[in-house]
Structure 1
């Protein structure tokens, strides 16, 4: 058991970090659900409204991350290693940034109709964020190692699926899309979406590191 873990045996259960991490996880699900709305609409004005909502949630995520860092500076005893708290907060914030980035590109590039690969990857982003949130909620009790590990495995699987869809979609763009500007726009949107699943995998990697250190 780590020195920090020994300290935890003698102090009350954390009431600061876990709620903030859980808020961050829930916020990612909300963003991913809006992204699905985004790819399923052809109404440009409604898409702008969705993009504004996603941007608001991205700011909310930034505020949660900032609060975690403030708590880290104020508290000597933490539920797990300080560097892992920082890494987890940063990786969650990265997921929010890339969901927002994908949504923003759809607006800036004046996307009218999302392609099937965009719709599929949006669904995978939601699936990945749901597993992220589930794993984070299990962190309160590190006895639930199997549940957290299962979520991490599922996140990795989702990321692999997104990689395949992205690679195939880009190959199809080069084979069949005759308009160079459309090709670039679609590739940039797909890239940001696929990056969001990569960042979910980064969260899983941090969670697995926490498990190893606190097992």
Structure 2
């Protein structure tokens, strides 16, 4: 006699698809950090667009799998919520890259690399949290959630330093505007990572 799992599948493909989405999100943050560390900091937008395409493809696969699958390893609403949260990360990163490519000539002497590094660190933790979902280890997920929260707190601290630079008087009006806009985009990207981490943590909390 065949079990329902044999007939309908175990739904384990969702973990693979979520891993793909998290990795695509991370790759976009890695590309941004690499660009910000480069001497010329010339935008190579193809890397960001490729990450977005991969993320979109993973998101579409998740949506289709939810339609096709009778069994899911976790609640459908949770899969949708995590997929949506992951999708927003490379979208925010690409927004930064696109605008940066237009304003590069006005950003001489402004170093975005430290904040881009923090974004990459946050995305690294998200990849780990998504990968850990299949194990449902609450202790491990709690530790990762605290790590992600610490990165977010440090990013908030750096934002205060940003405002100190803005009000220092050494920047012209355009630079002040651009500096604030670009750092807020980076801050929102870190917030997107935090949101994805919270969803992953809550899934484990609910199922442990």
Distance 1:179 1:78, change over 3 A: same
Displacement of 1:42: 4.2
For 2:30 and 2:205, locate their aligned partners in 1 and report how far apart those are by CA, in whole Å.
32
- Tell whether the 8 Å contact from 1:177 to 1:183 is kept in structure 2 after alignment: no
- Select 1:174's aligned residue among 139, 155, 167: 167
Q: Between Structure 1 and Structure 2, how many residues are aligned?
A: 203
For 1:197 and 1:114, locate their aligned partners in 2 and report how far apart those are by CA, in whole Å.
23
- Alignment of 1:115 with 2:117, yes or no, is no
Report what 2:150 is aligned to.
157
- Tell whether the 8 Å contact from 2:43 to 2:100 is kept in structure 1 after alignment: no
Q: How does 1:69-88 map to 2 (within 5 A)?
A: 69-88=63-82
- Tell whether the 8 Å contact from 2:63 to 2:80 is kept in structure 1 after alignment: yes
For 1:174 and 1:72, locate their aligned partners in 2 and report how far apart those are by CA, in whole Å.
50
Report what 2:98 is aligned to.
104
Report what 1:3 is aligned to.
none
CA RMSD between the two structures? 2.1
TM-score, with length taken from structure 1: 0.86
- Select 2:121's aligned residue among 118, 124, 127: 127
- Tell whether the 8 Å contact from 2:26 to 2:124 is kept in structure 1 after alignment: yes
Report what 2:138 is aligned to.
145
- Alignment of 1:43 with 2:40, yes or no, is yes
TM-score, with length taken from structure 2: 0.89
Displacement of 1:11: 7.6
Report what 1:4 is aligned to.
none
For 1:137 and 1:125, locate their aligned partners in 2 and report how far apart those are by CA, in whole Å.
18
Structure 2: segments with no counterpart, 5+ residues = none
1:48 aligned counterpart, secondary structure: coil
For 1:19 and 1:100, locate their aligned partners in 2 and report how far apart those are by CA, in whole Å.
24
Distance 1:193 1:12, change over 3 A: same
Report what 1:200 is aligned to.
193
Report what 2:20 is aligned to.
23
- Select 1:189's aligned residue among 178, 182, 191: 182
- Tell whether the 8 Å contact from 1:135 to 1:148 is kept in structure 2 after alignment: yes
For 2:27 and 2:109, locate their aligned partners in 1 and report how far apart those are by CA, in whole Å.
20
Distance 1:211 1:113, change over 3 A: same
For 2:10 and 2:158, locate their aligned partners in 1 and report how far apart those are by CA, in whole Å.
42
Q: Deviations over 1:40-83 (max 9, x none)?
A: 22426xx232x221122112111111111111111121111111
- Tell whether the 8 Å contact from 2:92 to 2:185 is kept in structure 1 after alignment: yes
Structure 1: segments with no counterpart, 5+ residues = 1-6
